[in-house]
Amino acid sequence: MGLGPLIASFAAIDIAAFTERLKRNIMLYGLAALFVLTAYVLGVAALAVHLSQFWGLPIALLVVAGGALLLAVIFYLSVTLTARAEVKRKKQAVAANSGKTLALTAALTAVPLLLKSKPLMFASIAGGLGFLALSGGRTRRRFTNPGE
């Protein structure tokens, strides 16, 4: 009797509970989305009816459609600019971490050599502690312009 069947039974219970919660949440969020969509459609219709008292029905519908199109363009530009900024930040992070990764790889390849020689091992430990002491946990923060 090993731990395998016990872990499998716990995983089955968790997965079953998770799927039940997921089904329930999907139904509740679906109903909420349906009511929000209904409220949105009725709100747009009410706006069109109200504006039709001033400009007539065709012009009111064109104004509402133009407003919706303008909002769609604004949201699209917002998402596009946010995605571009995220890609730029990822590229900068990769560029900043590439030197650290190279140094870490070099350090890890030197570990077997250092462990064979006691004086080199003590010197590397002292150097590492000295580096940590000098860095002192200081971090640099670069504040960027959100428009970049």
CA distances for 40 relative to 18, 33, 68, angstroms: 32, 10, 12
DSSP character at residue 147: T
Q: Is the pLDDT of residue 70 over 90?
A: yes
Q: What is the model's pLDDT at position 101?
A: 73
Give pLDDT, residue 147: 57
* 110-139: average pLDDT: 72
Q: What pLDDT score does 114 carry? A: 63
pLDDT in tens, 36-51: 999 999 999 999 999 9
What angle, rounded to 10 degrees, do the helices at 57-116 and 3-55 form? Answer: 150
Distance separating alpha carbons of residues 76 and 125, to the nearest angstrom: 53
With CA atoms as reference, report the closest residue to 140 among 107, 96, 95, 105: 96
For position 141, what pLDDT does the model report? 52
List, in order, residues 6 or more apart from 50 with CB less than 8 Å away: 60
The reported pLDDT for the residue numbered 95 is 77
Type of residue numbered 85: A
pLDDT for position 41: 94
Greater confidence (134 vs 3) lies with 134
Going by C-alpha positions, the residue among 31, 40, 144, 34 that lies closest to residue 93 is 144
Distance CA 32, CA 27 (A): 9
